[in-house]
Structure 1
Amino acid sequence: MDSTAATPPDHRTGNPAAPTRARHHWLSAGAMGLLCLSGWAPAAPSPGPACALATAPGETLIDVPFEGVDGRIYLQVQVNDAGTFRFAVDTGASGVARADARLVRALHLPSGDIAAHSDGMRTADAATVRVDSLALGDVRRQRVVAITRDYNARQSAAAAFDGILARDFFDDGLLVLDFPRKRLRFRRDLGLLPEQPGTLAYTRAFRIPVQVGTVAAEAQLDTGANVALVLPTALYTQVSSGAVTPDDPLTLTHGRIESGRARLDVPLRVGGLTLHGLDVRVSDRYPEAVIGAHALRESVVLIDARSKRVALCPAQR
């Protein structure tokens, strides 16, 4: 739910592959010929429905358990070969990573340049730090520039973290988030293909097509958002007749915006999921719909940035 003004080089050669941003607390992307020209094709075809890839055999580079706190993903990441630290995984955050102020103090991370970033409503400057390396499983990113701030100022002790793995950490493979089994997997030997059943294309990460009741719309898929669903007021009133009651403001990086709360009385259909009775935050000030972590608790999410496709699958118990 953000953008940044800086556009540094590729993070695998020393800097982030995409702009970075500060994370909001509330909420705390010929087809095969083109893919081959861009330098990626899966090592073998990905046969059958996309959801089958969640547990397909092959070469998995990351297969780790995670904690679920308020719907969000937390796991242990090796930083600068100085030990493991608790990181949140946030597909709503651009760039490779974020560093909380306590990680900066603990490892004496050196300062970097100032980066401009947006929380979807306002743009501001942010401090950055330089991280020598981040490693999870068999994936290692080096010379990462990460936005830093005190992310834990408004967090509970249970939800506190040392940093954030953002979407570009996983930008060269297939990311699988299995919420019911609480496992994160990552691989490069398979991928989501344009013609594959059950996949959704995106242009801007990760804005995907959804259907709210009978209305077709677009929503951001944001696994770092500790909500089920956010809808702009105009869209909510178009699809639902339920009453909206006043509620706490939504907290973004650069401020707070007024919002209400309601129970969605029509189904939300996205990918292979049909979700009923979602708790929805309604705001006439936030510009887009958001599907957050609370809506994904019983699902498996697959994201492939190489082909710019995602799949959302019901969990197989």
Structure 2
Amino acid sequence: MNYANAQKTTGSIPAKTINNDLFVEAFVNGKGPYNFLVDTGASGMGRIDERIVKELGLTASDSVRNYDGSGKYNVVPVFSVAGLRVSALEEKNVRLLSRNYNGNRKNGRMLIDGIIGREFFRKYLLTIDPKDEKITYSMDSLTTGDPGVIPYQGDFQISAIVGDTAVTLHLDTGSTLTMHFPKILIDKLPHTNTEKKTIARRANSEYFIQETVLHATLKVSSVEIKDLVVDYSEQAQFVNVGMGFLKKYKLTIDQKRRLVRIE
């Protein structure tokens, strides 16, 4: 089957949330399937793990600085592939950054073969529905003023209210956490720490995060919730919303109109 000629304007992609990782099956240069993480926090079309690079015998075409959000970076290779396909959607001549995406993975967790970035679905109205284990896409649009529809800025940054405090949330399906708050912000909100304190790892750094119960009511889009268990750290620069939270809801993203809905 020639997938380049079978590109659909509407369809459904099987997706599974495993340990708060959102996976789809992807094909690189017609080979696969590979387990690719769907990551709205990742720029560009995607990433590819160094294991798969070796398996496919790819040769680097470039290199770039890879920042991890802490201000640190590594220089990583870039590989040009003829095609990156997820279900019936395929992008041609794609540049994929590469590194070891599994070095800090705990035993028993599914290996990440690669990452699907936010640009891959840029043409479509995208609905991520973890409960039904699927991602749907179409050429439809969200409409401002409809229930739960709100605008986003930058890379999926939306406005929310926690108690009486206005906050900005960054939607990041590549994170396994529920929400990750900056300590400077959580200190202004009613909360109770739990005994859980863990090490969080980024591409180029690691740090401690503290779990806490946020007693103020969170209101965002169509969602209103109180006593949400979240994390915070001194390193966090903004409130990051991960799959620990998003797996309970249906997330719709309209990149053409820069609108989202959580329901």
**TM-score for both structures, normalised by structure 1:** 0.76
Cα deviation code 1:116-161 (max 9, x no counterpart): 2322212422221112101123211011111101101222343212
Work out whether residues 104 and 201 of structure 2, in 8 Å CA contact, stay in contact via their aligned partners in 1. Answer: no
Given the alignment of the two structures, is residue 171 of structure 1 paired with residue 118 of structure 2, yes or no? no
Partner of 1:153: 103
> Partners of 1:297 and 1:102 in 2: how far apart?
28
Work out whether residues 191 and 213 of structure 2, in 8 Å CA contact, stay in contact via their aligned partners in 1. Answer: no
Partner of 1:286: 236
Q: 2:208 aligns with which of 246, 258, 272?
A: 258
Given the alignment of the two structures, is residue 225 of structure 1 paired with residue 175 of structure 2, yes or no? yes
Identity of aligned residues (%): 25
> Partners of 2:86 and 2:209 in 1: how far apart?
37
Runs of 4+ in 1 over 4 A off after TM superposition: none
1:76-155 superposed matches below 5 A:
76-124=25-73, 125-155=75-105
Partner of 2:13: 64
> Partners of 2:59 and 2:179 in 1: how far apart?
38
Cα deviation code 1:210-240 (max 9, x no counterpart): 1112211101011111010111112111111
Shift in CA distance, 197/132, structure 1 to aligned 2, threshold 3 Å: same
Q: Bigger shift: 218-227 or 273-282?
A: 273-282
Q: 1:235 aligns with which of 166, 182, 185?
A: 185
Cα deviation code 1:253-303 (max 9, x no counterpart): 110123211111122211101233322111122111111101122210001
Partner of 1:198: 148
RMSD: 1.7
1:282 is paired with a residue whose SS is strand
> Partners of 2:65 and 2:111 in 1: how far apart?
25
1:207 maps to amino acid: Q
- Point out where structure 1 has 5 or more consecutive residues left out of the alignment: 1-58
- Point out where structure 2 has 5 or more consecutive residues left out of the alignment: 1-7
* TM-superposed deviation, 1:195: 4.0
Work out whether residues 244 and 282 of structure 1, in 8 Å CA contact, stay in contact via their aligned partners in 2. Answer: no
Q: Going by fraction, where is strand more abundant, 1 or 2?
A: 2
Work out whether residues 61 and 137 of structure 1, in 8 Å CA contact, stay in contact via their aligned partners in 2. Answer: no
Work out whether residues 19 and 109 of structure 2, in 8 Å CA contact, stay in contact via their aligned partners in 1. Answer: no
Partner of 2:5: none
> Partners of 1:186 and 1:198 in 2: how far apart?
19
